[in-house]
Structure 1
Amino acid sequence: MPEELNVPIRSEADLVTARLRGRELAAALHFSSSELTLIATAISEVTRNILSYAGSGELDLRHVRRGQLEGVAIIARDRGPGIADLFAAMQDGFSTSGGLGLGLPGSKRLMDEFDVASEVGKGTTVTMTKWKM
Protein backbone atom coordinates (compact mmCIF):
# COMPACT_ATOMS: atom_id res chain seq x y z
CA MET A 1 0.00 0.00 0.00
CA PRO A 2 1.47 3.40 -0.96
CA GLU A 3 2.06 6.06 1.70
CA GLU A 4 -0.28 8.46 -0.11
CA LEU A 5 -3.22 8.09 -2.48
CA ASN A 6 -5.12 10.73 -4.39
CA VAL A 7 -8.75 10.12 -5.34
CA PRO A 8 -10.37 12.60 -7.73
CA ILE A 9 -13.98 13.25 -6.68
CA ARG A 10 -16.40 13.84 -9.56
CA SER A 11 -19.24 11.36 -9.01
CA GLU A 12 -20.91 9.04 -6.49
CA ALA A 13 -18.71 6.23 -7.82
CA ASP A 14 -15.68 8.22 -6.64
CA LEU A 15 -17.22 8.41 -3.17
CA VAL A 16 -17.30 4.60 -3.09
CA THR A 17 -13.69 4.45 -4.32
CA ALA A 18 -12.56 6.97 -1.67
CA ARG A 19 -14.22 4.94 1.10
CA LEU A 20 -12.64 1.74 -0.16
CA ARG A 21 -9.14 3.23 -0.50
CA GLY A 22 -9.39 4.80 2.96
CA ARG A 23 -10.44 1.48 4.50
CA GLU A 24 -7.63 -0.33 2.68
CA LEU A 25 -5.01 2.13 3.94
CA ALA A 26 -6.32 1.96 7.51
CA ALA A 27 -6.58 -1.86 7.37
CA ALA A 28 -2.93 -2.04 6.24
CA LEU A 29 -2.10 -0.16 9.46
CA HIS A 30 -4.14 -2.70 11.47
CA PHE A 31 -6.92 -0.38 12.63
CA SER A 32 -9.79 -2.26 14.27
CA SER A 33 -12.95 -3.00 12.28
CA SER A 34 -14.87 -0.37 14.25
CA GLU A 35 -12.17 2.23 13.51
CA LEU A 36 -12.30 1.26 9.81
CA THR A 37 -16.03 2.02 9.86
CA LEU A 38 -15.47 5.41 11.53
CA ILE A 39 -12.82 6.35 8.97
CA ALA A 40 -14.99 5.23 6.03
CA THR A 41 -17.97 7.15 7.42
CA ALA A 42 -15.97 10.37 7.83
CA ILE A 43 -14.63 9.97 4.28
CA SER A 44 -18.20 9.54 3.01
CA GLU A 45 -19.38 12.69 4.76
CA VAL A 46 -16.65 15.00 3.47
CA THR A 47 -16.79 13.48 -0.01
CA ARG A 48 -20.56 13.91 -0.14
CA ASN A 49 -20.06 17.57 0.80
CA ILE A 50 -17.63 17.99 -2.11
CA LEU A 51 -20.19 16.54 -4.52
CA SER A 52 -23.14 18.45 -3.04
CA TYR A 53 -21.59 21.89 -2.74
CA ALA A 54 -18.65 22.06 -5.15
CA GLY A 55 -19.47 19.39 -7.75
CA SER A 56 -15.90 18.06 -7.77
CA GLY A 57 -12.68 18.01 -5.81
CA GLU A 58 -10.14 15.54 -4.54
CA LEU A 59 -9.27 13.45 -1.54
CA ASP A 60 -5.73 12.72 -0.38
CA LEU A 61 -5.29 9.72 1.90
CA ARG A 62 -1.98 9.57 3.78
CA HIS A 63 -0.19 7.26 6.16
CA VAL A 64 1.11 9.64 8.85
CA ARG A 65 3.42 9.27 11.83
CA ARG A 66 3.92 11.35 14.97
CA GLY A 67 6.52 9.85 17.25
CA GLN A 68 5.34 6.32 18.03
CA LEU A 69 1.84 6.97 16.67
CA GLU A 70 0.69 5.93 13.21
CA GLY A 71 -2.48 7.04 11.58
CA VAL A 72 -4.45 7.99 8.53
CA ALA A 73 -4.83 11.58 7.40
CA ILE A 74 -7.59 12.56 5.00
CA ILE A 75 -7.41 15.87 3.14
CA ALA A 76 -10.55 16.77 1.19
CA ARG A 77 -10.24 19.75 -1.17
CA ASP A 78 -12.54 21.54 -3.53
CA ARG A 79 -12.64 24.80 -5.45
CA GLY A 80 -16.33 25.36 -4.82
CA PRO A 81 -18.19 28.32 -3.39
CA GLY A 82 -16.64 28.00 0.07
CA ILE A 83 -18.47 28.18 3.38
CA ALA A 84 -19.76 31.64 4.24
CA ASP A 85 -20.37 30.91 7.94
CA LEU A 86 -17.93 28.27 9.11
CA PHE A 87 -19.07 28.54 12.74
CA ALA A 88 -22.67 27.77 11.75
CA ALA A 89 -21.59 24.97 9.40
CA MET A 90 -19.88 23.23 12.33
CA GLN A 91 -23.12 23.11 14.34
CA ASP A 92 -25.30 20.00 14.27
CA GLY A 93 -28.40 20.57 12.19
CA PHE A 94 -27.03 23.40 10.04
CA SER A 95 -27.54 22.72 6.34
CA THR A 96 -27.90 24.83 3.24
CA SER A 97 -28.83 21.81 1.12
CA GLY A 98 -31.80 20.51 3.11
CA GLY A 99 -29.81 17.60 4.59
CA LEU A 100 -29.53 16.66 8.24
CA GLY A 101 -26.56 18.95 8.80
CA LEU A 102 -24.37 16.26 10.35
CA GLY A 103 -21.57 16.09 7.75
CA LEU A 104 -18.83 18.33 9.10
CA PRO A 105 -19.64 18.15 12.82
CA GLY A 106 -20.27 14.41 12.53
CA SER A 107 -16.93 13.86 10.79
CA LYS A 108 -15.21 15.90 13.48
CA ARG A 109 -16.63 13.64 16.19
CA LEU A 110 -15.47 10.49 14.36
CA MET A 111 -11.84 11.56 13.96
CA ASP A 112 -9.09 12.43 16.44
CA GLU A 113 -8.04 15.65 14.71
CA PHE A 114 -10.14 17.85 12.47
CA ASP A 115 -9.63 21.19 10.76
CA VAL A 116 -11.60 23.00 8.10
CA ALA A 117 -10.43 26.03 6.14
CA SER A 118 -12.72 27.76 3.70
CA GLU A 119 -12.71 30.92 1.68
CA VAL A 120 -15.83 32.17 -0.05
CA GLY A 121 -15.41 31.90 -3.80
CA LYS A 122 -12.22 29.85 -3.54
CA GLY A 123 -13.13 26.55 -1.91
CA THR A 124 -12.80 24.42 1.18
CA THR A 125 -10.17 22.10 2.61
CA VAL A 126 -10.99 19.63 5.37
CA THR A 127 -8.06 17.91 7.07
CA MET A 128 -8.75 15.09 9.51
CA THR A 129 -6.65 12.40 11.14
CA LYS A 130 -7.40 9.14 12.94
CA TRP A 131 -4.58 7.80 15.14
CA LYS A 132 -4.12 4.12 15.82
CA MET A 133 -4.05 3.75 19.58
Structure 2
Amino acid sequence: MRDYRAGGAALEAVPVATSGDVVTARQLVRTLAQRGGLSLVNQTKLVTAASELGRNMLVYGGGGVVRAATVAEGARAGVYAEFEDEGPGIADLDLALTDGWTSGTGMGLGLSGAKRLVDEFDITSGTRGTTVRIVMWGR
Protein backbone atom coordinates (compact mmCIF):
# COMPACT_ATOMS: atom_id res chain seq x y z
CA MET A 1 0.00 0.00 0.00
CA ARG A 2 1.21 3.48 -0.83
CA ASP A 3 2.48 5.47 2.16
CA TYR A 4 0.06 8.40 2.24
CA ARG A 5 1.71 9.87 5.34
CA ALA A 6 4.99 10.27 3.47
CA GLY A 7 3.10 11.49 0.41
CA GLY A 8 2.05 14.64 2.20
CA ALA A 9 -1.64 13.83 2.72
CA ALA A 10 -3.25 16.27 5.17
CA LEU A 11 -4.10 13.72 7.85
CA GLU A 12 -6.60 14.59 10.55
CA ALA A 13 -6.02 12.76 13.84
CA VAL A 14 -8.37 11.57 16.56
CA PRO A 15 -6.90 10.13 19.78
CA VAL A 16 -8.90 7.09 20.90
CA ALA A 17 -9.11 6.28 24.60
CA THR A 18 -12.88 5.77 25.07
CA SER A 19 -15.89 4.40 23.19
CA GLY A 20 -16.91 8.01 22.56
CA ASP A 21 -13.60 8.58 20.81
CA VAL A 22 -14.34 5.64 18.49
CA VAL A 23 -17.58 7.40 17.56
CA THR A 24 -15.66 10.64 16.88
CA ALA A 25 -13.17 8.77 14.68
CA ARG A 26 -16.01 7.09 12.81
CA GLN A 27 -17.63 10.50 12.22
CA LEU A 28 -14.36 11.86 10.85
CA VAL A 29 -14.12 8.97 8.40
CA ARG A 30 -17.76 9.49 7.33
CA THR A 31 -17.16 13.23 6.75
CA LEU A 32 -14.07 12.51 4.65
CA ALA A 33 -15.95 9.84 2.68
CA GLN A 34 -18.69 12.34 1.88
CA ARG A 35 -16.13 15.02 1.01
CA GLY A 36 -14.25 12.52 -1.16
CA GLY A 37 -17.36 11.76 -3.21
CA LEU A 38 -17.73 8.10 -2.23
CA SER A 39 -21.08 6.53 -3.00
CA LEU A 40 -23.43 5.91 -0.09
CA VAL A 41 -22.67 2.17 -0.28
CA ASN A 42 -18.91 2.77 -0.13
CA GLN A 43 -19.33 5.33 2.64
CA THR A 44 -21.20 2.71 4.66
CA LYS A 45 -18.57 0.04 3.99
CA LEU A 46 -15.73 2.37 4.96
CA VAL A 47 -17.45 3.63 8.11
CA THR A 48 -18.29 0.06 9.15
CA ALA A 49 -14.66 -0.98 8.70
CA ALA A 50 -13.48 2.10 10.62
CA SER A 51 -15.87 1.35 13.46
CA GLU A 52 -14.62 -2.25 13.75
CA LEU A 53 -10.98 -1.25 13.58
CA GLY A 54 -11.42 1.57 16.08
CA ARG A 55 -13.21 -0.73 18.50
CA ASN A 56 -10.50 -3.38 18.14
CA MET A 57 -7.82 -0.75 18.72
CA LEU A 58 -9.55 0.32 21.94
CA VAL A 59 -10.38 -3.17 23.27
CA TYR A 60 -7.22 -5.06 22.31
CA GLY A 61 -4.64 -2.27 21.95
CA GLY A 62 -5.69 -0.08 24.85
CA GLY A 63 -6.51 2.84 22.56
CA GLY A 64 -4.38 4.77 20.14
CA VAL A 65 -4.88 7.21 17.31
CA VAL A 66 -6.88 7.25 14.10
CA ARG A 67 -5.51 9.33 11.24
CA ALA A 68 -7.47 9.90 8.05
CA ALA A 69 -7.47 12.00 4.90
CA THR A 70 -8.95 12.29 1.47
CA VAL A 71 -6.38 11.10 -1.07
CA ALA A 72 -5.93 11.02 -4.82
CA GLU A 73 -4.09 8.70 -7.14
CA GLY A 74 -4.21 9.76 -10.73
CA ALA A 75 -7.83 10.52 -11.59
CA ARG A 76 -9.35 8.62 -8.69
CA ALA A 77 -10.14 9.97 -5.26
CA GLY A 78 -10.69 8.13 -2.02
CA VAL A 79 -10.21 8.03 1.73
CA TYR A 80 -7.19 6.72 3.61
CA ALA A 81 -7.40 5.85 7.31
CA GLU A 82 -4.94 4.30 9.72
CA PHE A 83 -5.50 2.90 13.18
CA GLU A 84 -2.39 2.80 15.35
CA ASP A 85 -2.09 1.51 18.90
CA GLU A 86 0.78 0.69 21.24
CA GLY A 87 -0.74 -2.49 22.63
CA PRO A 88 0.82 -5.95 22.89
CA GLY A 89 0.42 -6.67 19.18
CA ILE A 90 -1.18 -9.63 17.43
CA ALA A 91 0.80 -12.83 17.88
CA ASP A 92 -0.50 -14.58 14.74
CA LEU A 93 -1.75 -12.23 12.02
CA ASP A 94 -2.80 -15.04 9.68
CA LEU A 95 -4.95 -16.56 12.41
CA ALA A 96 -6.36 -13.15 13.41
CA LEU A 97 -7.42 -12.56 9.79
CA THR A 98 -9.25 -15.90 9.60
CA ASP A 99 -13.05 -15.64 9.51
CA GLY A 100 -14.55 -16.93 12.74
CA TRP A 101 -11.40 -16.66 14.85
CA THR A 102 -11.71 -14.46 17.91
CA SER A 103 -9.42 -13.71 20.81
CA GLY A 104 -12.37 -12.56 22.90
CA THR A 105 -16.12 -12.89 22.97
CA GLY A 106 -16.84 -11.38 19.55
CA MET A 107 -18.00 -13.15 16.41
CA GLY A 108 -14.55 -13.19 14.85
CA LEU A 109 -15.42 -10.90 11.94
CA GLY A 110 -13.60 -7.69 12.97
CA LEU A 111 -10.29 -7.79 11.08
CA SER A 112 -11.34 -10.14 8.30
CA GLY A 113 -14.64 -8.33 7.85
CA ALA A 114 -12.94 -4.93 7.73
CA LYS A 115 -10.50 -6.27 5.15
CA ARG A 116 -13.33 -7.43 2.90
CA LEU A 117 -15.15 -4.09 3.13
CA VAL A 118 -12.37 -1.86 1.78
CA ASP A 119 -10.33 -1.66 -1.41
CA GLU A 120 -6.92 -1.73 0.25
CA PHE A 121 -5.94 -3.17 3.63
CA ASP A 122 -2.54 -3.42 5.27
CA ILE A 123 -1.68 -4.54 8.79
CA THR A 124 1.57 -4.63 10.72
CA SER A 125 1.89 -5.80 14.28
CA GLY A 126 4.64 -6.34 16.78
CA THR A 127 5.38 -6.08 20.47
CA ARG A 128 5.08 -2.28 20.27
CA GLY A 129 1.61 -2.21 18.76
CA THR A 130 -0.51 -2.71 15.70
CA THR A 131 -1.17 -0.45 12.74
CA VAL A 132 -3.95 -1.05 10.23
CA ARG A 133 -4.13 1.07 7.08
CA ILE A 134 -7.14 1.08 4.78
CA VAL A 135 -8.22 2.86 1.60
CA MET A 136 -11.61 3.07 -0.07
CA TRP A 137 -11.69 4.51 -3.55
CA GLY A 138 -14.56 6.33 -5.22
CA ARG A 139 -16.14 4.56 -8.13
Instruction: Compute the TM-score of the two structures, normalised by the length of structure 2.
Output: 0.91
Is 1:37 the counterpart of 2:28? The answer is: no
Q: What is residue 102 of structure 1 aligned with on the other side?
A: 109
Structure 2 counterpart SS, 1:39 = helix
Structure 1 counterpart SS, 2:99 = coil
Q: What is residue 122 of structure 1 aligned with on the other side?
A: 128
Structure 2 counterpart SS, 1:75 = strand
Aligned partner letter, 2:137: W
1:19-63 alpha-carbon deviations (Å, 9 max, x no partner) = 111111110122111111111100001001111111110100111
Aligned partner letter, 1:107: A
**What's the offset of the Cα at 1:4?**
2.2
Gap runs ≥5 in structure 1: none
**What's the offset of the Cα at 1:98?**
1.7
**What's the offset of the Cα at 1:3?**
3.7
Aligned partner letter, 2:95: A
When the two chains are superposed, the root-mean-square deviation of aligned CA atoms in Å is 1.2
Q: What is residue 19 of structure 1 aligned with on the other side?
A: 26
Q: What is residue 70 of structure 1 aligned with on the other side?
A: 77
Gap runs ≥5 in structure 2: 1-8
Q: What is residue 3 of structure 2 aligned with on the other side?
A: none
Percent identical among aligned pairs is 43
User: How far apart, CA to CA, are the structure 1 residues paired with 2:16 and 2:90?
Assistant: 19
Runs of 4+ more than 6 Å apart: none
Structure 1 counterpart SS, 2:94 = helix
Is 1:87 the counterpart of 2:94? The answer is: yes
Structure 2 counterpart SS, 1:83 = coil
Structure 2 counterpart SS, 1:98 = coil
Q: What is residue 131 of structure 1 aligned with on the other side?
A: 137
Instruction: Compute the TM-score of the two structures, normalised by the length of structure 1.
Output: 0.95
| Aligned length in residues | 131
